[in-house]
Structure 1
């Protein structure tokens, strides 16, 4: 849940950088990092509001298209999880705002700065996963690559990204 870690706007010594530094000290063979792709960690309300609206509108639209309105899991996701996250991103400031996702491109810079290099995903695995998504999911879902990131989205909006890293 790296999107809950404070950034430089709250603490001078970024907990995000400390997290990556700790992972680097552990010296794993592979570090797999998945991120929520939205730049709503910015301190400026209007930018944060716009990013949050894009992200959560796409997410709730995905639920509307794929789940019944009476589905208990959908109600739980919308009200208890994602509804609370959206409220926190939009309405809270300072230390009260705990939802602080950064885009995968922001995490890429941060992770490289921490001493990691990206590792390409297995081509055959990606090919099989892409075929499975096309075969079993609605056409509005997307599953693509951007550099060495695997990005997942809905109706053209990248929602999540995952990448593998190794210590340099």
Structure 2
């Protein structure tokens, strides 16, 4: 059953989810927690509130994907970080998708542009594009009462085989510290991992 909730994630109450006791619950969160506000916005950190909500749900598994980057609050440093980060993304597009191909339009003209403008031009509560490194998310999740699951080596091998056989050889897939890492030319861009509730923590 699909149940849409039009609300900020940190404002959702567990009752609104209407979860039945006999349901298998899986939480799947793909690179969107970066848009939930962090400690610089409120003492009661919205990101931590979302993680606590997920912990209360007690999912059988919690799957997370994150970009592996963070930005300084100092403009000049942040500007250089953005240049470095998005140069990699544009290089990836240049190398793998020809000019004029419609597959480039969405990442180039929507995702990248929107993110860059928000990171560079906005301050305070207007700055909503605030990713964190994988290590930072790892700490948050552990503090919220989750236990990280190991990556299945068969999945790692299958992903590596797919990349080797069907993609540019400058892509890479590897496992590190229970993250399945994806990157380009030696630079880690994103990581995927899975968690379960630690029954002894986060109560």
TM class by shorter-chain length?
A: over 0.9
> Which consecutive unaligned segments of at least 5 residues does structure 2 have?
1-31, 199-203
Of structures 1 and 2, the one scoring higher in RCO (CA 8 A, sep 6+) is 1
CA drift at 1:44: 2.2
Higher radius of gyration, 1 or 2: 2
Secondary structure of the corresponding residue to residue 70 of structure 2: coil
Q: What residue is the counterpart of 1:96 in the other structure?
A: 126
Is 1:38 the equivalent of 2:69? yes
Q: Secondary structure at the match of 1:161?
A: strand
The match for 1:58 among 70, 88, 104 is: 88
Q: CA deviation at 1:72?
A: 2.4
Question: Which is worse superposed, 147-156 or 69-78?
Answer: 69-78
Q: Secondary structure at the match of 1:38?
A: coil
TM norm structure 2: 0.79
Match of 1:20 among 29, 51, 55: 51
2:79 to 34, 38, 49: 49
Structure 1 unaligned blocks of 5 or more: none
Please give the per-residue CA displacement for 1:116-145, whole angstroms capped at 9, x wherever unaligned: 111012111211111111111111101111
Match of 1:116 in 2: 146
Q: Quote the offset at 1:46 in angstroms.
A: 3.0
| Aligned residues between the structures | 167
Query: Which is worse superposed, 68-77 or 139-148?
Result: 68-77
Contact between 1:69 and 1:75, CA under 8 Å: does it hold in 2? no
